[in-house]
Amino acid sequence: MSTPHNSANPGDFAKTVLMPGDPLRAQFIAEQFLTEPRLVNRVRGINGYTGTWKGVPVSVMASGMGMPSIGIYSHELYNFYGVENIIRVGTAGGMSMRCKLRDVVLGIGACTNSNYAAGFGITGHFAPTADYTLLRCAADIAQKNGLHVEVGNLLSSDNFYDDDPHAKDVWQKMGVLAVEMEAAALYMNAARAGKRALAICTISDHLLTGEATDAQTRQTSFCDMMRLALDVAAEMANV
Ligand code: HPA
């Protein structure tokens, strides 16, 4: 059975799927890291691949940009393809001096300015959080490998371009580490489906210092994050 946005067959996706925002990143991960990657979806250019990492089946498919996009793809993976774990691997804008350019951030929570939660009939405020097992596993592996990670709150924003240049100041005052555009929807979909999710982000630009990474640096720090996410996926085979 395929879905409106995914032509893969049942069983094509592994238990754990890594989701970068960019389809070309998904292809890069599949070609550089996975053994014998197999193309399982190509609807709308959102190519999905399944291969192995350290002998464990792992899939990678792009999420596209923003909460509606990751909302669609993660819903279908969790509910129609039997996927148990989704690890977002993306970039984020630093909002705290606790994180520097190129740092890797594990999103323990994801605040949001979006109305996505209303789709679940929630009238109060749901707190979208990472799965503790995935989060602990990622923090443990990073420590073992000597990779520095910051763990804290993300902001999943509906707006990349804010009309008000100070729109994000309130989140910064609340100690939010970094802004991206997908984690909160992923965490809510995982909660609703009774599945696991984690967002891992590399700081690609910094809102406080105005710094931004060049393409080469982005690629290198992205690979550190990728190996971390793949090692978490391998570890989850035993959970
Ligand atoms: N805003 C939103 N998403 C992002 C940013 C940003 O500044 N940087 C990387 N992803």
Quick check: is 3 in a domain? no
52 pLDDT tier (thresholds 50, 70, 90): very high
Q: Please count the structural domains in the chain.
A: 1
pLDDT at 221 over 80: no
The pLDDT of residue 84 is 98
11 part of a folded domain: no
Average pLDDT, integer, range 29-52? 97
User: What average pLDDT does this structure show over 179-191?
Assistant: 98
> In the predicted model, what is the mean pLDDT of the chain?
96
Is residue 10 assigned to a domain? no
90 Cα to the center of ligand 1, angstroms? 10
Ligand 1 centre to CA of 124 (Å) is 27
Q: What is the pLDDT of residues 70-92, one digit of tens each?
A: 999 999 999 999 999 999 999 99
CATH number at residue 79: 3.40.50.1580
The answer to whether residue 158 is domain-embedded is yes
29 close to ligand 1 (CB < 6 Angstrom): no
In a domain, 100, yes or no: yes
Q: How confident is the model at residue 220 (pLDDT cuts 50, 70, 90)?
A: confident
In the block, tokens 């690629």 appear at 219
User: What is the span of the domain harbouring residue 101?
Assistant: 16-238
CB-ligand 1 contact for 181 (6 Å cutoff): yes
In terms of Cα–Cα distance, which of 81, 99, 65, 58 is closest to 226?
58
* Chain segment 4-14, per-residue pLDDT in tens: 999 999 999 99
The answer to the question of residue 88 being in a domain is yes
Mutation probe of ligand 1 site: the residue of 155, 158, 160, 200 with most atoms within 8 A of C-beta? 160
CA angle 91, 21, 19 (to 5 degrees): 100
Does residue 50 belong to any structural domain of this protein?
yes
- Asked if the structure places residue 81 within a domain, the reply is yes
* Integer CA distances (angstroms), 121 to 78, 124, 131, in order: 20, 9, 22
176 in ligand 1 pocket by Cβ < 6 Å?
no
CA distance to 29, 45, 173, 192, 213, per residue, from 222 (Å): 10, 21, 28, 29, 11
Catalytically active residues, by annotation: 205
204 close to ligand 1 (CB < 6 Angstrom): yes
Task: Output the residue whose Cα is nearest ligand 1's atom 3.
Answer: 180
Nearest to 128 by CA among 70, 77, 203, 172: 70
201-216 tens-digit pLDDT? 999 999 999 999 988 8
> pLDDT at residue 1 above 90?
no
| pLDDT at residue number 217 | 80
CB-side exposure of 122: number of CA atoms within 13 Å?
14
